[in-house]
A = this chain, B = another copy of it.
């Protein structure tokens, strides 16, 4: 359900950029392929943000959703694993607009440790705990090979990480006080394959 909140935020920010002052749950639903009732219900869970007869003020609701998601202030993020995917994520500047900034890079390969990538120094994984403390980092992006993911995750946990965005195609085993979100690109393609193969039955 919270993932829909992110969709609302994305759309509301787009509307704000387009100069739209207010919108309604029905209109937002059309843009996202959802019913207005569902959007109102989702928002109602967290409070009252709309104006009967008017709708929602786009910018105002954006700010409210950012409060709910915890992205009102920018999170400093560590990126662990400066390979191809790591570098691509780093170059992707869309994060900063949404409240996240990669501030430290980590790897173990001697070919990248102590070099600069995209203007940021690459530290050895051994410096994890120190750097995370100094830079007040609580979230990490994990873009290391699948075989190393669990081990590196363990080190992140020891260093005090609170959330891991995991790009390795493995299920991480973590203490319950550490949150994790996994992104597996092959899985997304599989979902697409299923949808295409079973399309006739849906439509």
A197 within 8 A of B: yes
Q: How far is the CB of A135 from chain B (nearest CB, A)?
A: 16
Q: Which residues of chain A from 76 to 95 have any CB-CB distance to chain B below 8 Å in the complex?
A: 77, 84-85, 87-89, 91-92, 94-95
Contact B84 A87, beta carbon cutoff 8 Å: yes
- Contact between chains at A171 and B87 (CB < 8 Å): no
CB contacts (< 8 Å) of A14 on chain B: these are 170
Give the docked Cα–Cα distance between A191 and B87 (Å).
22
Task: Check A186 for interface membership: any CB of B closer than 8 A.
Answer: yes
CB of A179 within 8 A of chain B? yes
A108 at the interface (CB under 8 A from B): no
Contact with B along A49-87 (1 / 0, CB 8 A): 000000000000000000011110001010000001101
User: CB within 8 A of A193: which of B3, B94, B163?
Assistant: B163
- Residue from B87, B88, B139 within 8 A of A192 (CB atoms): B139
Given the contacts A185-B95, A187-B3, A192 and B177 also touching, CB distance less than 8 Å: no
Q: In the assembled complex, which residues on chain B have CB atoms less than 8 Å from the CB atom of A194?
A: 2, 5, 68-70
* Segment at the B interface, from A36-44, A96-104, A121-129, A151-159: A96-104
17 contacts between A and B (CB under 8 A): A5-B190, A6-B184, A7-B187, A10-B171, A33-B171, A68-B194, A69-B193, A70-B196, A84-B87, A84-B92, A88-B88, A94-B185, A98-B186, A139-B193, A163-B193, A179-B199, A183-B183
